[in-house]
Structure formats: structure tokens, C-alpha cells
Structure 1
């Protein structure tokens, strides 16, 4: 790629024979570029100039030597590219004062004979500028096309960076994740550039990485384009992986809900590359919020850009991620990595890890274990003994919260109206195996006060605390309310 767009210079202008221009100062050979052409006969043209123009004039406005000197000095300080003085109409030749002032002020001064109209000079300069711009656009398109081909050729991120390295003047270039980790760089042996230019790689307007290089300004558009196509490629492959995760999620759901037989479930899981014949851990996490956020989350930018599949079979079911991890893998590290990824969506996310089991029944039990463990709160939690009551309390399919509110409605209303602390008393009583002495000590109340509260609880709920079935129902109601309030 060209380093920069180079429009016509003053030296090019003087060297063009068809224009018949004559250099009148020693500064006309300079390579100062001409940005545009301005023809003027104004008394003071300086306020209407932006700099680097070729200013054409016939000197029609009459000026004293002092005024000519002042004008030339101001034009040189602006600075303009050159002053072209037309002769043969107003002046037979360029006034000496103009020549002397231009030479002293460092201004390029050329003389144009009246036989060459100013419009011819303007057209020649414009044609050259537009030709250079066209060449620059064409070169830029060629570079962009090459970068796209490099990315799509199957060489992944390294292939893209190798071509980008060439078009950035062979300066080192790197892709760095949002956590500062280097995902790739080229050349491989080069240090990560202390980049003066960084361009974000975005998915759905969310930055997921940066393309970095220490480059001059003329290369910034190339770096920006590379970052854009990298984001598009990552988003494209993420869509592919998301589809696979959701497809596996449908299979896992059918297995868990007994929609299909174990035999069919085993066959479908095998086709999805889940080694159900070997012991596997189930790693599960449910994020708070809409399920669509989990679908769109870029889990691993390096994995996406290199078009790698998930290392472990991964299923997405609504707002729950389920990983099936072989017993031989580092399940603790995988669970921690999953937690870190999902924390972007839900900082309080809990990850449950089941014990390793094989077969379709083992997957069902592992899923239940992992779900129960994930409900313990933020962080990674290995599965404990599988609790039937815990599974029921954690089920999203049972309306336990609604039943709890109905069962305890009068008790809750009494607490609000009388500050009775009955719910806290009931929870403590059940948590201490319905032992009055232990409960009274835990609540720091007299046993008679506890007895009165328990009688009032029975009256308000219509349940008998001496009956096991009523105790179980009240335990579920209290646990469901605690879960709804975010308590453990």
C-alpha cells in the first residue's frame, strides 16, 4: 500500500511543459503539495484561504510596494503552496517587489504567460489530484480485499496478521483481549507492540479485543478495517457455535425430561460428540437475566477467531449453560473459566460441578447434582450429597414460591402488622430439627415465649407442627420464600 496520498507538487507544476510556467524564486523546486487552486483578485485574499493552495492572480488590485510585501509575507506564513502571477494583462512582468518579497519570505513564485489561461492550470492540477485520490482508493480496496482473503483462507488470525504486518510497513501487530491477554501476534518472535494506535474489535457494539500496532497516521485506516472484518468473522463463527450449543441443548432437554428413550438419547448424544459411554462431569451455571444475553456472549475470542469448536460439549438451555466434561479433564479449571466468562453477564453467577458418571441416567443425575450445587451462590461449588428436598426447592417447574406465599400469607401479614418475628421463629424451629430448647437458645428467647409463638404459627397457618407432613410443607414454604429473597 502507498504510504500516503501525494497530490501534485510545485515542482511537478513547473516541470509541466504545456503550462509554460517560469520559476521566479529559488523555492519552486520544493515538494510542497498543492491541495487545491484558488483564483483571486481580492484586496486581501488571506481570510478566504485554508493553506497549501496554488493562488492564481493577475495583480489587478493596485498596491504599493509596502502592501505587496505585506501580502506576500502573509501568504508565506499561512502558508500557501505557491503564488502564480499571470503576466501580459495587467502587468507585463512580475513586479520586482513581489519577486524580492517572495524570495526573502521563502514563498514559491511562478510566472504564467497570458497565453495560458488560469483555467488550464486549474484543470491540470485538479486532474492530477483526482488521479492520485483514485489511485489511493484503488490501492486501499486492494489491501482490504487481500486482508479479507487472508482471513477467509483458513489460516485464521495468524494469516490475517501476517498480511496486515506487510501492509503496515512490517511493524509488529497484535490482537489483545479485553483482559490484556495476547491472543495472537506477528511476527511470533516480536515483542507485543507498545501500541500508539489501538482499534477495538466489537461484537454487537461490545468490545471483545483490540488490534494494536505502533504505526504512523497514514496506516490507521488499514488497522481499522482489519479490526472491523475481525469482528465480523468472530460474530459469524459465534453464530455457528451458538446454533450447535442450542441444538445440543434440545437433545439434553429431551433426555432430562424423558421425551425420548434412553436408547435414543444415547444415540443422539453420541452424534453430538458427547462420550456418554465414559464417565463425565456436568458443569452447570444459570445466569440472571434474559436468555438472549447468554446466546450472544462471546465466550472465547481466541477460539472464535481460529474457528475452533467448543473444547467440551456445551449446551445452552434458555439462560443455563451446561458443559459435559470428561472425568480425565481439569474440571475445576474448566468450571472456573466458565464462571469468569459468565460473570460478564451475572457477577453473582454460581457454577455447580457434579461427580463423574457415565450413561444417560448418569447425565440426568449429574445435571441434578450440578443444578443443586450451582444454587449455593456465587463461585464454583462441587456437588454434595444429592438432596431430594433441595432438588424440589430448586425446581423452576414447580410453583413453590406461589404455594409458599399462599401457605404463609396470614403469618406474613401478622409479622408486618405486629412485628411478630414469626417467620424467623418458624425457620429457626425447622432448622434446629424442631427442638424447642435449641431453638429458644438460638433465638435468645424464653421457652414460654417460643411456645406462644409456635401456637400462634399453627393458628395462622392451619398446620400442626407435631405432624411430619405439615412440618415438611412448612419447610418447603420457608425454603421457597428464602430462595425468592435471594437467601441461601
Structure 2
């Protein structure tokens, strides 16, 4: 911005300061008026020039004239003498002193247009200076991109050029880097967020309430480009890192890797004591985009699924989330952004993640296998294993007693039995297929890929081993509840 002192210092204009204002005001524009009240047309920072045509030398309305300009926060008042008044009226000088508005004299040889041109030149020079400064800042940022500049260094450079406090936010909203005053500014000022990747997971946060100049915006844009380039440049390493996290998460979900082993991947991250396994399902493209999403912190605990939906075009994946309302909702929101349905498993200790996974797996059948493929737009579906099966949940709350009773009902089909594991799993899969087919043996056999006679033989064997008959309603109920209790609780897992 051009300042009043710069204008007054120009010798060719012959301007004389009569009354100083508050500091050295910045000039944003020039306006000539003979109106008494121009305030509703002003935005602040204007230099107002007048010859006082509408008011006499002793008119008390000079005070109203200055008061309205003071409210509009003008930069200064320039009074042209020798046209309507030989000197600046004393009431005007007194009002300018009262309201602390700068007042200067424009001599008769100097036309108003000369003052306007001088201000325009000052503004143009200032804009060129700001543009050069912004260009230099952009060049420093872009050249730093080739030198592997850290995010903190990029933020510091942008902050120095714009006067704003900034931060780089991870996919979970955590601060990855920030300027020193960002935390305090965040509590009192508005925050603007700029997405640094296509998914909008990594964001640049800019604190501040005053509008940015075009030069300031160009510097922030350059900083966003450099940060984005840094993220994209790290994608190859990020892919390898994501694969390591996926293998670890898959092992925790399968019960083959201890949660404490996460220290190998990161000494700063730990699985929460209580977790929930969340299954996400949708088109293969949407699930792949969800898995590729940049992640930080606890959001890294995602994994592909060994089991996949039977419907062509659908895919399944898993995520471990902290057993808190905020963490689970955050995971569901991200899944919804990618148009994915979700099943939230029961809460479980981190070392029993398999329990939560099994409870979610058992509810996957509640998700539509056609809506993700054919409905658009649509609201993604959410199923919660511990809200949609109240009777089963009541039985699970019995703890070890429920697991013991389930084992007694299933007998050799129980997960903890001495029956050959391959044989046992085959019979359990048959049991599940028959129930999911509503007892219709044709569809059940088709699902299993076996002949109806083979299915008949397996059912006869199940009835013999468990002592329960599929023809008896009570026996059917006991078999299904026992099976679901084991699957949901993880009792007797191998």
C-alpha cells in the first residue's frame, strides 16, 4: 500500500500537512467529493479531496463531514485552497484534530488530478514491489522443492512472505508440521483448508481473518504445490510403507501377530487397548482408492481381506479403529467419502482383534451386493454388529459361560475340538451355508459347489456329531446360536 508520508514527500505537488492523524495511514484509493456525507460509498483507506463547495468557512457541519469520514476509516482529507476557500476553514481543522483524521493542504497551482496520478503511481510501484517479493518467495519455494525441503521449512517460508501461521495436517487431522504461532492463532482466528492431494486427506491449514492480497495467495499456492510435490515424490516409499502396515494389520486381525509388534514399524504408534474391526465393502475401484488414501497415525491400520465377496466387481477390506465414538465415526466418514458400505465389529481387546473381526464378518451378509454396483447416487450403508443382534449380544455378555455352552452344543464342530481342522472347517462351512440358504438344500449345495447328495451326507454327519436334528426347530436355533457365539467371541480359536 502507498502511505500518506510518501505522497506528502513528493516535492512537485507542494502538499502541506496541517493536522496529523493516527500514525502513517495507508492509501487504497483516491476520491474527489463536494458531498457532506460520502461514508456509505467508502471501504476504508481512501484519500478524500474537496474544495469545500457545499459549506461555508464557519459552517458547524464540518464536524459532521469529518465524523462520517472517520467512521469510514479514510486515510486522509486533502483540502484544495484558492477555489472556494482561501484557507482551510478552522472548524474543519478542529474536527480533524478531534477525530484524529489526517488533513493536508493542496495549493491552487496543484490540480486534484495530479494528486490522483501521484497516488496511482505510488500504488503501482507498491504492487510491483509486492509482486517481485511474491515472485522471489515462489522461486525460493520451488527451488527448495529440488533440495528436498522439509514441510516445516516450506511453512516457515510461506509464513515469512505472507505473515500467516500455517500447518500441515495428516489424514487423521494430526499436526505433522506447523509454524510457531499456529496453535494460538487456531484458537482465535478462522482457518482455511487447502487439499494437497486428490483425496483431500493431507491438507494445508492457513490461519487468519483478514483477506489475503493476490501476492499472498500466489505464495500460498506455490507452497501448496511444493508440499503436494513432496507428497507425490514420496509415493513410492509410501506404497512400500503401506504394504508393511497392511501385512501387520492383517496379522493382528488373524490373530497371528501380537499388537506390540507395531514397534517394528513405528516406535511412536501403539494400538489402543480396545479396538473395533471395521469391514468396508464396495466396488473394487472404490476399495482400492480407499486403501491408497494417504494416512497417518492410527489410520494406518488397514488391510486387504483374504476373503472377498462372491459378487463380481465387489471388494472387501479391513480397518482397525480405536473403540471411541469419534474414531469409529471418523473411519465411517472416510469410508462414505469413497462410497463404501461398512460393518462395525464388536469392541475387543487389541490382542483379540480376531473376535471383533469375526463379529463383523458374520454381519457382512446384511450389506447389499447390488447397490454399490448399480445405485448412484446412494447413501453408504452402515451395520453395527453390537447393535443389530441384541439377543446374541446378551448371550455374548455372559462371557466364558456362553463359550462353554456353545462348545457343548457344537461338540466336535467346536473350534476347540480334537476333530481334524480341515474336516471341522468343512462341516462348519456346510452348517453356515444351510442356514444362510434358509434350509434350502439346492441353493446351499450350489454355494458350496457340491452335489446335493454330498450335502445330504454332510448334514447327516453334522446331526450325528452334534446330536441335533435340522428337522427340530429348537435344535436348529441352538446350532445357529452356538455357531454365531463362537464366531463372534473367538472362543476356542486355533
8 Å CA contact 2:164–2:208 kept in 1: the answer is: no
> Would you say 1:407 and 2:411 are equivalent positions?
no
Structure 2 residue corresponding to 1:112, chosen from 94, 106, 113: 106
Within 2, Cα distance between the matches of 1:408 and 1:314?
Answer: 28
In our comparison, the structure showing a higher alpha carbon Rg is: 1
How far off is 1:38 after superposition?
Answer: 0.4
Question: Structure 2 vs 1, CA of residues 17 and 208 (structure 1 numbering), >3 Å: closer, same or farther?
Answer: same
How far off is 1:130 after superposition?
Answer: 2.5
8 Å CA contact 2:29–2:47 kept in 1: the answer is: yes
Within 2, Cα distance between the matches of 1:392 and 1:231?
Answer: 52
Secondary structure in 1 aligned to 2:80?
strand
> Would you say 1:139 and 2:174 are equivalent positions?
no
Secondary structure in 1 aligned to 2:287?
helix
8 Å CA contact 2:138–2:222 kept in 1: the answer is: yes
Partner of 1:438: 468
Q: Deviations over 1:449-485 (max 9, x none)?
A: x9xxxxxxxxxxxxxxxxxxxxxxxxxxx9xxx9xxx
Alignment of 1:64-463 (within 5 A): 65-161=59-155, 163-164=157-158, 167=161, 174-184=167-177, 195-196=186-187, 198-200=191-193, 202=195, 206-211=199-204, 221=217, 226-227=223-224, 229-231=226-228, 233-234=230-231, 287-297=280-290, 298-301=292-295, 320=315, 344-345=334-335, 346-348=341-343, 375=361, 385=421, 387=425, 407=442, 433=463, 438-439=468-469, 443-444=473-474
8 Å CA contact 1:36–1:52 kept in 2: the answer is: yes
Question: Structure 2 vs 1, CA of residues 40 and 166 (structure 1 numbering), >3 Å: closer, same or farther?
Answer: closer
Secondary structure in 2 aligned to 1:288?
strand
Within 1, Cα distance between the matches of 2:130 and 2:27?
Answer: 16
Deviates more, 1:117-126 or 1:285-294: 285-294
How far off is 1:50 after superposition?
Answer: 3.1
**TM-score when scaled to structure 1?**
0.52
Question: Structure 2 vs 1, CA of residues 131 and 88 (structure 1 numbering), >3 Å: closer, same or farther?
Answer: same
Q: Deviations over 1:138-179 (max 9, x none)?
A: 3223323433443453345355345456557697x6534343
Secondary structure in 2 aligned to 1:23?
strand
8 Å CA contact 2:3–2:25 kept in 1: the answer is: yes
How far off is 1:296 after superposition?
Answer: 2.4
8 Å CA contact 2:3–2:26 kept in 1: the answer is: yes
Secondary structure in 1 aligned to 2:201?
strand
Partner of 2:28: 35
Q: List gaps (5 residues or longer) in structure 2.
A: 244-276, 336-340, 346-356, 365-384, 386-414, 445-455, 485-489
Within 1, Cα distance between the matches of 2:157 and 2:88?
Answer: 54
> Would you say 1:53 and 2:46 are equivalent positions?
yes
Question: Structure 2 vs 1, CA of residues 245 and 434 (structure 1 numbering), >3 Å: closer, same or farther?
Answer: same
Question: Structure 2 vs 1, CA of residues 45 and 291 (structure 1 numbering), >3 Å: closer, same or farther?
Answer: same
Deviates more, 1:53-62 or 1:117-126: 53-62
How far off is 1:373 after superposition?
Answer: 11
Partner of 2:249: none
Secondary structure in 1 aligned to 2:176?
strand
Within 2, Cα distance between the matches of 1:237 and 1:83?
Answer: 57
Within 1, Cα distance between the matches of 2:466 and 2:321?
Answer: 42
How far off is 1:125 after superposition?
Answer: 0.5
**TM-score when scaled to structure 2?**
0.51
Question: Structure 2 vs 1, CA of residues 229 and 389 (structure 1 numbering), >3 Å: closer, same or farther?
Answer: farther
Within 2, Cα distance between the matches of 1:377 and 1:294?
Answer: 19
Within 1, Cα distance between the matches of 2:303 and 2:70?
Answer: 71
Within 1, Cα distance between the matches of 2:286 and 2:138?
Answer: 32
How far off is 1:34 after superposition?
Answer: 1.4
8 Å CA contact 1:177–1:208 kept in 2: the answer is: yes
8 Å CA contact 1:201–1:211 kept in 2: the answer is: yes
Question: Structure 2 vs 1, CA of residues 51 and 193 (structure 1 numbering), >3 Å: closer, same or farther?
Answer: closer
Within 2, Cα distance between the matches of 1:48 and 1:213?
Answer: 31
Partner of 1:466: none
Within 2, Cα distance between the matches of 1:112 and 1:289?
Answer: 74
Within 1, Cα distance between the matches of 2:301 and 2:465?
Answer: 51
Secondary structure in 1 aligned to 2:68?
helix
How far off is 1:33 after superposition?
Answer: 1.2
Q: List gaps (5 residues or longer) in structure 1.
A: 1-6, 247-283, 304-309, 324-333, 351-370, 396-400, 410-425, 451-477, 483-487
Within 2, Cα distance between the matches of 1:392 and 1:286?
Answer: 23
How far off is 1:288 after superposition?
Answer: 0.9
Question: Structure 2 vs 1, CA of residues 163 and 45 (structure 1 numbering), >3 Å: closer, same or farther?
Answer: closer
How many residue pairs match? The answer is: 342
8 Å CA contact 2:169–2:176 kept in 1: the answer is: yes
Secondary structure in 2 aligned to 1:140?
helix
